[in-house]
């Protein structure tokens, strides 16, 4: 028996339940979201290479024009530190202007991917220093944690992929360069540049695929970290929806208040239509303010008897009409007006009551 109880307790403490919306919102406020920095850097690298491919020839052409313009003109009579510095500044500013579209594309893509992963969010909790992370025990735990092993695996994977692709490209590059003779030496830089760019593209594609796997893992790990025990779900439900006992008490009090108001409205009714034993419906009609008679109270069985007692004590006439009482009880709620299909029957009852009052009978 003791073993069984321990197993049940252990099962109850296991995090088997999916995170509730409230749990997810709290995690988001704390800055805990599923994100992969690898994906951001990989997409930024790919965007950089694509922009370099598209804008690169134009940038290279601008640089050639700048160098030709600077060095084809007659040099100053005397080279001074000032003239050299001015030339270097001009060259640097020209280079920055030429590279701005390439760097800007990579930066925009990196920011866009980061925002797409976490959605716009503002939290200051991540900026607050956590001094507990400085403890040696915390460092040892992080060193041998599952996340550290995953990060080590990612680093080794990137090292192996980059190394294999680089070795393949360099071997291919060396093979092609050996085949050139002296007349083709001038074309070697362009060939090397093309092969290096192809290597960059291959590495970028591999990094994107690896980052996509990392993002899938990060989402899995994040969802796992948010899982809740059954008891936590119950406690959260009590916090958000309220304690069931308290809610039951509130509903009971609300019913008592509604019942008290209903019974207080019976003496103001014009007539109580009865079944006669099962139903009692109190009707009130004021031609100046109402378009149709209104049900101010209704009840069945014991409640019907209470309505009849109050009506009798208050001098409200009671009329027995089984079909009408059943229809009113079934079709009209308290505070609602009588529907059109019951106008005729209700009008006959009210006319009868008014005649009784006119003759002084109850």
User: pLDDT digits over 333-347, tens only?
Assistant: 988 999 989 889 999
Encode 187-242 in three state secondary structure.
HHHHHHHHHHHHHHHHHHHHHHHHHHHHHHHHHHHHHHHHCECHHHHHHHHHHHHC
In this prediction, residue 5 carries a pLDDT of 45
Residue 259's nearest CA partner among 302, 322, 312 is: 302
Q: What is the CATH number of the domain that holds 277?
A: 3.40.1690.10
Question: Domain end: 197, 227, 257, which one?
Answer: 227
Q: Quick check: is 42 in a domain?
A: yes
| Same domain, yes or no: 308 and 207 | no
Pairing assessment for the beta strands 294-300 and 318-320 based on DSSP bridges: unpaired
As a dihedral over the C-alpha atoms of residue 100, residue 105, residue 107, residue 110, rounded to 10 degrees, the angle is: -170
Q: Is the pLDDT of residue 282 over 90?
A: yes
| Same domain, yes or no: 206 and 263 | no
Question: Domain end: 177, 194, 227, which one?
Answer: 227
Q: Quick check: is 105 in a domain?
A: yes
From CA 244, how far away is CA 251, in angstroms rounded?
10
| Same domain, yes or no: 256 and 324 | yes
Rounded to 5°, the CA angle 311-277-279 comes to 70
| Same domain, yes or no: 205 and 265 | no
| Same domain, yes or no: 37 and 169 | yes
pLDDT digits (tens, 9 = 90+) for 30-78: 777 878 888 888 888 888 888 877 777 776 666 666 666 555 554 555 5
| Same domain, yes or no: 69 and 212 | yes
Residue 149 corresponds to which tokens in the numbers above?
């092993």
In this prediction, residue 153 carries a pLDDT of 80
| Same domain, yes or no: 267 and 349 | yes
Contact assessment for residue 160 and residue 210, using Cβ atoms and an 8 Å cutoff: no
| Same domain, yes or no: 104 and 141 | yes
- All residues at 6 or more sequence positions from 20 whose CB lies less than 8 Å from its CB, including other chains: 228, 233, 236
Q: Quick check: is 148 in a domain?
A: yes
Q: Quick check: is 334 in a domain?
A: yes
Question: Domain end: 176, 195, 227, which one?
Answer: 227
Q: Quick check: is 6 in a domain?
A: no
What domain range includes position 290? 247-358
pLDDT digits (tens, 9 = 90+) for 6-32: 554 554 567 778 887 888 888 877 777
In this prediction, residue 145 carries a pLDDT of 62
Q: For residue 77, which phi and psi values (nearest 5 degrees)?
A: -60, -40
Q: Percentage of the chain surpassing pLDDT 70?
A: 73
Q: Quick check: is 240 in a domain?
A: no
- Between 77-86, 132-141, 196-205, the lowest mean confidence (pLDDT) is in 132-141
| Sheet of 318-320, strands arranged across | 294-300, 279-284, 271-274, 318-320
What is the residue-averaged pLDDT of the chain? Answer: 77
Number of domains comprising the chain: 2
Q: Quick check: is 10 in a domain?
A: no
| Same domain, yes or no: 216 and 69 | yes
pLDDT digits (tens, 9 = 90+) for 290-329: 888 999 999 888 899 999 999 999 889 999 999 999 999 9
Residue 307's nearest CA partner among 342, 326, 283 is: 283
Look-up: residue for tokens 């005397």? 78
| Same domain, yes or no: 210 and 352 | no
Question: SS3 for 333?
Answer: coil
Q: Quick check: is 349 in a domain?
A: yes
| Same domain, yes or no: 207 and 310 | no
| Same domain, yes or no: 207 and 339 | no
């Amino acid at each position: 028996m003791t073993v069984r109880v321990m197993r049940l307790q252990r099962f109850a403490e296991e995090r088997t339940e999916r995170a509730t919306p409230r749990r997810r919102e709290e995690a988001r406020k704390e800055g805990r979201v599923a994100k992969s920095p690898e994906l951001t850097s990989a997409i930024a690298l790919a965007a950089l290479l694509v922009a370099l491919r598209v804008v690169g020839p134009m940038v290279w052409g601008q640089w050639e024009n700048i160098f030709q313009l600077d060095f084809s003109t007659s040099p100053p009579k005397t080279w001074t530190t000032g003239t050299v510095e001015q030339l270097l500044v001009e060259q640097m500013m020209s280079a920055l202007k030429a590279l701005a579209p390439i760097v800007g594309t990579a930066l925009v893509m990196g920011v866009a991917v980061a925002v797409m992963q976490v959605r716009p969010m503002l939290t200051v909790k991540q900026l607050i220093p956590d001094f507990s992370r400085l403890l040696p025990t915390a460092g040892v735990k992080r060193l041998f944690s599952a996340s550290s092993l995953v990060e080590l695996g990612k680093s080794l994977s990137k090292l192996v992929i980059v190394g294999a692709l680089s070795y393949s490209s360099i071997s291919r590059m060396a093979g092609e360069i050996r085949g050139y003779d002296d007349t083709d030496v001038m074309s070697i830089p362009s060939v090397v540049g093309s092969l290096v760019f192809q290597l960059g593209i291959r590495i970028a594609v591999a990094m994107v695929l690896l980052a996509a796997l990392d993002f899938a893992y990060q989402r899995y790990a994040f969802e796992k970290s948010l899982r809740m025990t059954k008891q936590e779900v119950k406690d959260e439900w009590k916090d958000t929806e309220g304690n069931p006992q308290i809610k039951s008490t509130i509903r009971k009090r609300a019913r008592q208040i509604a019942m008290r108001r209903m019974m207080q409205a019976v003496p103001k009714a014009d007539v109580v239509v009865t079944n006669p034993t099962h139903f009692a419906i109190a009707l009130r009609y004021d031609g100046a303010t109402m378009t149709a008679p209104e049900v101010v109270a209704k009840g069945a069985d014991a409640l019907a008897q209470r309505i009849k007692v109050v009506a009798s004590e208050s001098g409200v006439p009671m009329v027995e009409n089984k079909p009408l009482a059943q229809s009113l009880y079934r079709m009209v709620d308290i505070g609602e007006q009588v529907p059109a299909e019951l106008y005729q029957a209700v009008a006959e009852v009210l006319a009868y009551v008014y005649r009784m009052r006119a003759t002084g009978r109850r």
